[in-house]
A and B are shown apart, each in its own frame.
Chain A
Amino acid sequence: MTTQQHKNALQGPLGWGLLVVAMAVLLISLGYAFSQIIANGHTSFNTSSALPWGQPIATYVFFALGSSGLGLIASLPLVFGFKQYYPIAKRCVFLAFALLISGMIVLALELGHVFRMLWVIPANLQVQSAMFWMGAFYALDLLFLLWKFSKLQGGHWDSKTAKQVGIASFVGVLLASGNLALIFGMMSMRPFWFDPLMPVYFYVTGITTAVAILVLLTYLAYAFKQTRMPAPLQALLTGPLPKLFAACVGVTLLLIAVRAITGLYSNNPEINVVWTDYLFKSGVYIAALLIGLLLPFVILLSKLRNSMGIQVVAALLVTVAMFAERLYFVVGGQVVPLFKGTWIPDLISYTPSATEWSLTFIGFALCFVIYLLGEKFLNLGDMPSQMIDHTTPRKPIEATA
């Protein structure tokens, strides 16, 4: 089966310009992070024995779940046969790879002994640890993503092997992100996180992050001009995708609301105080909820959701809000001093250090560099030949929904 290729803006000078900028940010961030970590070790982080997991872990969670969300969206056409999602399938798979690699690099820089990890985990096989399984499943996820992408790159959209790899990848994504959720959700001694349904929360919020990133980068690929897009992509971006976006943001808000209500109702200070004295006392967190999630949700409910400008703004807001959500989620589980009574009279304070921010920048810059290279050299806008008849650029389609 042949594939139809489309020129996009990132294959031209715009792509080179952005690549130079992203590379510069990546190199500067890497240089700063390495200089600090080599000279000062983890004292350059603002984490502590009382609050051991900070922004680098939150950044990893953001990227890993974003990757999983993209993998799940790619499964819509590749596993479940929702053909209208074909125009973004290849971009989803590649972005999932880019996000996962970026997250893993950030996590590696956070660990005390990253190279030791490479032999000591397989050599000791601690199958009781959720973190062991997270490593195993995300490694499998990465493998299947690459395999799946190689199939799409070869034009095998509907072959039997492509389907099988797609199903394996879908299962791998569910296992990997589900296990990441359980790393937090199984910690009964950390009641803010303890939740058997944490995987559901991670799946939904992962897809929300994924749609936001996908919308942003797809429009960027066509220089924010809908008329440059092939018709099936236009149809997707003015029909099913914004509806999915609205639904995901809505369910994310619902899940956060449920967690907040149960947390506020609870007498347990390790849950209650996190909401009253940490999350709802933070202007950033409230802004993330109201401006980053609720506002986009309300706008996306209306017909305005088919407008490119609205989608781009909503996607930008949701991306930032989801990053904030990850940070407040990871830190929130640790801010109540563990087993200290009144020995420590206040919540443990934590503000990311410059080194920790540089790790976050490394993640975003690396992800963007990989993505730009993909757009430039791997034709991420490919779709199956049966859609060729609809690929002539035309005016934006008015959605009927």
Chain B
Amino acid sequence: MAKWGMVIDLDKCTGCQACTTACSMENNTLPGETWQDVLFYNAGEYPSGQMKWLPRPCMQCENPSCVHVCPTRATYKDPDAGGIVFVDWNKCIGCKYCMIACPYGVRFYADEKPLIEPDIRDVFPGENAQLWSPPYQSPDEDWRRGIGIQPKGVVSKCTFCYHKVKNAPEGTADLDEDNPDVKEYVPACVRTCAPKARYFGDLDNPESHVNQLIGDKHGVRLKDHTGNKPQVYYLGAGAGVPAFTPADRENDA
């Protein structure tokens, strides 16, 4: 079985947020429930300050701390599904410990105050135990893997679009949106990326393009010191978010 991984080339990424939008539409996430978003931040100071950005999906860690802390095994890493980390919505009790334990802040408890008004959950009230029921929904639903629209009281997260990826033929090295044979199986954020900054493939296949990119261009993993060992790699300059600095202290030396 493949070990699915993503490579994001920051020298190509324009920060357009198309990936964020595609993810939201594909997975019917709520405003603020950004399984995939692009963080913007500034680094350095005037006159040499820079604006930078960093796309951030779930890292689908090899050694995921969120899985270790879950008291019910609702969060699990499935080696038979490419090593993707899922949330079983039938088992999640909404304790939110996984959200505490995730170093990347990519888990969401959508049963919270709305980010924007009107609350879209009031506009499209939930039916059949869904938290909300918009008129268009992805046809794929698998609560055991946290795919579809979640019920109340559970945690949700990026699934690497497993409902698409799972259909890839066995032995596929790369899911490239430019390859007509596999483009339907490519995760939404990868497929929509206009500057082609994202690559998706099998990290266990030495011939895969993602492995070649990681090797040739010195791919790095974020917060590698945590030991979580993400299956998402970054290329290019700026793969690192500067330390938090309160706005009123930005000019402190």
Contact = CB atoms under 8 A, between A and B. Distances in A.
B100 A334 contact: yes
Given A41-B153, A343-B40, A336 B244 contact: yes
Contacts of B103: 189, 338-339
Given A43-B111, A49-B109, A113 B153 contact: yes
A116 B102 CA distance: 23
A341 B41 contact: yes
A224 interface: no
Contacts, number: 157
16 contacts: A113-B154, A117-B72, A124-B91, A126-B72, A129-B71, A135-B71, A189-B101, A190-B100, A334-B100, A338-B104, A338-B105, A339-B56, A339-B223, A342-B41, A342-B42, A342-B244
A347 B241 contact: no
Interface string A330-345: 0001101111111101
B21 interface: no
A116 B129 CA distance: 15
A43 B107 contact: no
Given A113-B154, A120-B91, A339-B223, A345 B100 contact: no
Contacts of A189: 65, 101-103, 223, 226
A341 B112 contact: no
B105 A340 contact: yes
A224 B216 CA distance: 78
A286 interface: no
A128 B75 CA distance: 12
A20 interface: no
A131 to B, nearest CB: 4
Interface stretch (A76-84, A210-218, A269-277): A269-277
Most buried by A among B91, B104, B107, B245: B91
B66 to A, nearest CB: 10
Interface of A: 41-43, 45-50, 52-53, 111-114, 116-117, 120-121, 124, 126, 128-132, 135, 183, 187-190, 268-270, 273, 277, 333-334, 336-343, 345-347
B96 interface: yes
B244 A49 contact: no
Interface residues of B, number: 54
Given A42-B112, A131-B71, A189-B101, A112 B242 contact: no
B39 A341 contact: yes
B97 A129 contact: yes
Nearest to A278: B246
Contacts of A113: 92-94, 153-154
Contacts of A53: 96, 100
A53 B32 CA distance: 18
A112 B244 contact: no
> Main SS of chain A's interface residues?
loop
B247 interface: yes
Nearest to B104: A339
A183 B69 CA distance: 9
Contact of B93 (A48, A50, A116, A270): A116
B143 to A, nearest CB: 13
B12 interface: no
* Interface pairs A-B: 5 shortest CB-CB: A112-B94, A112-B153, A341-B41, A345-B247, A189-B103
A346 B226 contact: no
B72 A120 contact: yes
B165 interface: no
A161 B23 CA distance: 62
Most buried by B among A48, A52, A268: A52
Contacts of A47: 109, 112
